[in-house]
Amino acid sequence: WAADYHAGLRERPVRAQTAPGDIAAQVADSPPELAEPFERVFADFARIVPPGMTHWQHPSFFAYFPSNAAPEAIIAEQLAGAMAAQGMLWQTSPALTELETRMTDWLRQAVGLPEGFAGVLQDTASMATLCAVLCMRERALDGRGNREGLAGRPAVRIYASGQTHSSIDKACWISGIGQENLVKIASSPVHPWPVDVNAMAEAIRADRAAGRLPAGIIACVGGTSIGACDDISALVSLAREEGLYLHVDAAWAGSAMICPEFRSLWKGVEGADSVVFNPHKWLGVPMECSAHFVRDPDNLVSTLAIQPEYLRTHGRDGLINYSEWSVTLGRRFRALKLWFLLRAYGLEGLRERLRKHVRWSQSLAARIAATPGFEVVTEPVLSLFSFRFAPGGIEDLDALNLALLAAINDDGRTYLTQTRVGEGIAIRFQVGPFESTEADVQGAFDTVLEISAGLMAGRGA
Ligand code: PLP
């Protein structure tokens, strides 16, 4: 079924064309008392679920960031499921733990991080960033936050650019640090929009003078909106001067670092305390698989390890228990899908895909820039850029672009999403599906041209 599904993706609309409630209406209100034949269960899946899905691996999915699932990695996911693997401790799944150590080290080498970084596979980048923020908090409070709470203490402060992902805000909520203690600093208006490091340094000093407690910096490489990249070397220097923990969020762009020519985007990263990127986005590993590298695992272990008697492993001291590097106790066998993927394609096979995506994206951006009535709003970072439909004589360009986007996504041939750049709405375009071709990329803009012409004709323009 999966192979046929993959082969037939082009025949499906990219974004689900269902109305809210359509799918729920096809599923019984209550669970069955008696077993049903599996054939009936499977037939219902095949009938009800795929039409209610947005097809992330559709070759014309250019929205958000990608979610790919290479066939070989899907098999690994099934095998892990067949073993009901649970890797909270070394002894609960030794192969899981040892492959996780080996695979994160393969990834470390693949993206050019130096020896000395240790890796763990979290479910998502949000979770890795939460772990990083908890480490920042505990480091700043000498481990007293977990024991005594935050009440009555100076405000713990985290610094980031306004281009960082909302998972950083959430990590500050969940860690008890609070939204108001996440200090967002303006970024440069110039591509690739790095945060203003001098302004950040001033904010840190002002906070210290006011009795607040600076704890960490979160840097952004390939921000979600337009691909913003901070100057990591400058942030490393600042973090060192101020004794702060530096976490780098490269959730999407990190996969591209398997290509040495893109590594200038995170130059200086070897000086960070932790780095996260998601092989489950661009690289081809199915959800969930987030590679979290740390320079000193003791930060994680001293923040997150807890050992009631039922979790103690007498006589097995010194082995890695990855639940002590994570928020959750139970954890899946994520390394298996990495092992299968990396061996089935090789780094060269994966690099070739990513390089093509970047090239196609750049050539489409150039075509759009040369198309009357359209403008490129932000130039590409890797395979992400944004554009706007801007025919002359229209006052409300935001409304026009939102109407265009709705019409494109209702049409179903391609799928795009919007962002805000400065005051205006822009349409994001990001190439990432495993099986996209250059014709799919160019064809998506042919669709945009056709639909925008229809929209203007409908307005009598
Ligand atoms: N950071 C960035 C830059 C992202 O683009 C995203 C998601 O797209 C995330 C973090 C959150 O990733 P996850 O869904 O793995 O939590």
CA 376 – ligand 1 centroid, Å: 24
Cβ 65 under 6 angstroms from ligand 1: yes
The yes-or-no verdict on residue 460 having pLDDT over 80 is no
Residue 246 exposure: Cα atoms within 13 Å on the Cβ side: 25
* Average of per-residue pLDDT across 176-190: 97
**pLDDT tens track for 16-25:** 999 999 999 9
Cβ 224 under 6 angstroms from ligand 1: yes
Cβ 249 under 6 angstroms from ligand 1: yes
Cβ 252 under 6 angstroms from ligand 1: yes
pLDDT at 461: 61
Provide the residue count of the chain.
461
* Average of per-residue pLDDT across 421-448: 96
pLDDT tier for residue 330 given thresholds of 50, 70 and 90: very high
**pLDDT tens track for 217-236:** 999 999 999 999 999 999 99
Q: What is the percent of the chain where pLDDT is above 90?
A: 95
Cβ 60 under 6 angstroms from ligand 1: no
Tokens at residue 390, please?
């801007």
Q: Measured from the CA of 124, which atom of ligand 1 is nearest?
A: 15
pLDDT at 318: 86
pLDDT at 268: 98
pLDDT at 184: 98
End-to-end CA distance of the chain: 47
Cβ 163 under 6 angstroms from ligand 1: no
Distance CA 96, CA 85 (A): 8
Candidate of 172, 252, 265, 266 to mutate for ligand 1, largest count of ligand atoms within 8 Å of Cβ: 252
pLDDT at 238: 98
Distance CA 318, CA 298 (A): 12
Residue 241 exposure: Cα atoms within 13 Å on the Cβ side: 13
**pLDDT tens track for 290-320:** 999 999 999 999 999 999 998 998 888 889 9
pLDDT at 459: 80
CA 165 – ligand 1 centroid, Å: 7
pLDDT tier for residue 271 given thresholds of 50, 70 and 90: very high
The yes-or-no verdict on residue 431 having pLDDT over 80 is yes
CA 383 – ligand 1 centroid, Å: 16
The answer to whether 111 touches 257, Cβ cutoff 8 Å, is yes
* Average of per-residue pLDDT across 166-181: 98
**pLDDT tens track for 56-107:** 999 999 999 999 999 999 999 999 999 999 999 999 999 999 999 999 999 9
Cβ 165 under 6 angstroms from ligand 1: yes
Mean pLDDT for all residues in the chain: 96
Distance CA 321, CA 262 (A): 34
Would you call 343 exposed, middle or buried from its count of C-beta atoms within 10 A (0-12, 13-18, 19+)? Answer: exposed
Q: Measured from the CA of 278, which atom of ligand 1 is nearest?
A: 15
Q: ∠ CA(5), CA(348), CA(61), 5° rounding?
A: 35
The yes-or-no verdict on residue 458 having pLDDT over 70 is yes
